[in-house]
């Protein structure tokens, strides 16, 4: 096992074992106190390896400098520490399947679960690799702790090998990316960089410069509450109205499970409350601004139509912008994208650029004036118990990151 392989494996297992799930209902930054556990660890580790200007900002981002050894633009490298709220992330027990044999992978804590190349073709290309998964009851958290491990390994290697030419680098670890709040308004100024990259992508070779545009929506339904024994012609049940809204929205189209490629969707993520008041949460996604606006308008029309059936109820639909397609800005100057492609090809990796059916911190950073494509880490099947990553893929991402910063250096 190479030095990178051992270090990456050790780092990912260590980081993944730390619960750092974000919470959309949290009002602080980070949204959950537990994220500070890994942020403080990374702050200490960056100091230990000799990084400069290490700080944990008041808004919960760890930022550090790797001093340059050559002229060139300042380049920021980012990964996020939080894990997705969609699935259990407490008690993660990472494990390594060494020299994967190409068959089904079972899970010790969930015998009914199986990870197979039939359902995961990319896994079928990783025979002989060392595969890291969780134990079956949690997600792994390689999204994005694989990125964290890659950047920490890269930083350590550069600081210990100053003969490697690279410009000044800024390393940042953000919280709350999974809930769309990873980029604080102060981050672009605090990074003080010419451009940036997030290491938050999947298969080897992915260099992404196009993401969804995204809005969030909250629908609040206030009914009329009364004792059910006295409810004749008086009760207005908010649960029934919530069900009507869900049922009226498209079911065979415009949902995540019925769309792919460049198709957007309306996704109901949460339903809470009771007979007197219900709250529905949605995420709206499309690659184009007009398509996103149309989905918001459709949701509002459905809410208005259901409200018209029961004038005694109060139904509100509030839509909030989250992030926009990074392509709108990057296509005007593809320098950071082309630099990444050159670095990949120098290692014999053929770059692949496909639209991200999601978003990254880079989406917000790019919109805020810091061009920021997204790069591969190797992570797969994210946000669920079948999540996995190849140690060898992470090693390729580390070599790629080193090549990237060397390509950024001016002779």
Which residues are CB-contacts of 252 (< 8 A; sequence separation ≥ 6)?
Answer: 258
User: What does 149-212 look like in DSSP terms, one character per residue?
Assistant: HHHHHHHHHHHH-TTS----EEEEEES-GGGT--S-TTHHHHH--SEEEEEEE-STTBEE--B-
Cβ pair 142, 379 in contact under 8 A: yes
Categorise residue 254: left if φ over 0, alpha if ψ from -120 to 50, beta otherwise. Answer: left
Which residues are CB-contacts of 270 (< 8 A; sequence separation ≥ 6)?
Answer: 279, 280, 281
User: 178 labelled as ligand-binding?
Assistant: yes
**Active-site residue, from 177, 194, 206, 310:** 177
pLDDT per residue over 19-58, tens digit each?
999 998 899 999 999 999 999 999 999 999 999 999 999 9
Q: Which residues of 186-208 are buried (b: 16+ CB within 10 A; e: fewer)?
A: ebbeebebbbbbbbbbbbbbbbb
Catalytic residue check, 177: yes
Neighbouring-strand partners of residue 273: 278
User: What does 229-259 look like in DSSP terms, one character per residue?
Assistant: GG-TTT-B-HHHHHHHHHHHS-SSSSSGGG-
Res 3: pLDDT: 81
Cβ pair 180, 323 in contact under 8 A: yes
Going through 175-310 in order, the beta strands assigned E by DSSP cover 195-201, 207-208, 213-222, 265-273, 277-286
pLDDT per residue over 91-124, tens digit each?
999 999 999 999 999 999 999 999 999 999 999 9
User: 260 labelled as ligand-binding?
Assistant: no
DSSP 236: B
H or E element that contains 116: none
**Active-site residue, from 82, 176, 206, 215:** 82
Res 1: pLDDT: 47
Distance of CA 42 to the CA centre of its chain: 19
User: 227 labelled as ligand-binding?
Assistant: no
State the Cα–Cα distance between residues 49 and 142, nearest whole angstrom. Answer: 23
Complete domains list, the chain, with CATH: 3-211+325-408 (3.40.630.10), 213-322 (3.30.70.360)
Place of tokens 């890269």: 154
Instruction: Report strand pairing: 169-174 vs 62-66.
Output: antiparallel
Collapsing DSSP to helix, strand or coil, 261 comes out as coil
State the Cα–Cα distance between residues 384 and 139, nearest whole angstrom. Answer: 5
Place of tokens 């290490």: 54
Catalytic residue check, 350: no
User: 7 labelled as ligand-binding?
Assistant: no
User: 33 labelled as ligand-binding?
Assistant: no
**For the chain, how big is the Rg over CA atoms in Å?**
23
State the Cα–Cα distance between residues 316 and 319, nearest whole angstrom. Answer: 10
Mean pLDDT by 10 residues, the chain (411 residues): 87 98 94 98 98 98 98 98 96 98 97 97 98 98 98 98 97 96 96 98 98 96 94 95 98 96 96 97 97 98 98 97 96 97 98 94 96 98 97 98 96 70
Res 2: pLDDT: 60
Cβ pair 325, 210 in contact under 8 A: yes
Which residues are CB-contacts of 297 (< 8 A; sequence separation ≥ 6)?
Answer: none
């Amino acid at each position: 096992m190479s030095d990178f392989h051992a270090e990456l494996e050790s780092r990912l297992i260590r980081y993944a074992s730390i619960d750092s799930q974000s919470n959309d209902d949290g009002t602080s930054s980070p949204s959950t106190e537990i994220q500070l556990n890994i942020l403080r660890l990374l702050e200490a580790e960056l100091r230990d390896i000799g990084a400069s200007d290490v700080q944990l900002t008041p808004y919960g981002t760890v930022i550090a400098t790797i001093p340059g050894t050559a002229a060139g633009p300042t380049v920021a490298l980012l990964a996020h520490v939080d894990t997705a709220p969609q699935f259990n992330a407490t008690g993660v027990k990472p494990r390594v399947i060494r020299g994967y044999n190409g068959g089904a992978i079972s899970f010790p804590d969930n015998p009914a679960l199986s990870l197979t190349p039939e359902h995961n073709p990319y896994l079928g290309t990783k025979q002989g690799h060392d595969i890291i998964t969780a134990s079956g009851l949690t997600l792994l958290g390689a999204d994005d702790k694989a990125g964290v491990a890659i950047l920490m390994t890269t930083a350590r290697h550069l600081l210990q090998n100053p003969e490697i030419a690279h410009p000044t680098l800024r390393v940042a670890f953000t919280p709350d990316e999974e809930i769309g709040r990873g980029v604080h308004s102060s981050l672009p100024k605090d990074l003080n960089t010419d451009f940036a990259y997030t290491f938050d992508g999947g298969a080897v070779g992915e260099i992404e410069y196009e993401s969804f545009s995204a809005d969030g929506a909250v629908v609040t339904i206030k009914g009329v509450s009364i004792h059910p024994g006295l409810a004749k012609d008086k009760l207005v049940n908010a649960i029934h109205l919530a069900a009507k809204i869900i049922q009226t929205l498209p079911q065979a189209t415009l949902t995540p499970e019925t769309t792919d490629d460049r198709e957007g969707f309306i996704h109901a993520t949460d339903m809470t409350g009771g007979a007197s008041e219900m709250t529905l949460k949605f995420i709206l996604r499309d690659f184009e601004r007009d398509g996103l606006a149309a989905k918001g308008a459709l949701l509002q029309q459905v809410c208005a139509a259901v409200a018209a059936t029961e004038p005694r109820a109060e139904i509100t639909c509030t839509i909030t912008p989250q992030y926009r397609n990074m392509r709108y800005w990057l296509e005007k100057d593809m320098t950071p994208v082309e630099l990444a492609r050159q670095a990949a090809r120098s290692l014999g990796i053929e770059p692949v650029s496909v639209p991200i059916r999601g978003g990254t911190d880079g989406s917000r950073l790019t919109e805020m004036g810091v061009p920021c494509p997204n790069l591969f880490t190797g992570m797969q099947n994210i946000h669920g118990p079948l999540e996995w990553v190849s140690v060898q893929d992470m090693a390729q991402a580390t070599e790629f990151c080193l090549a990237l910063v060397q390509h950024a250096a001016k002779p």
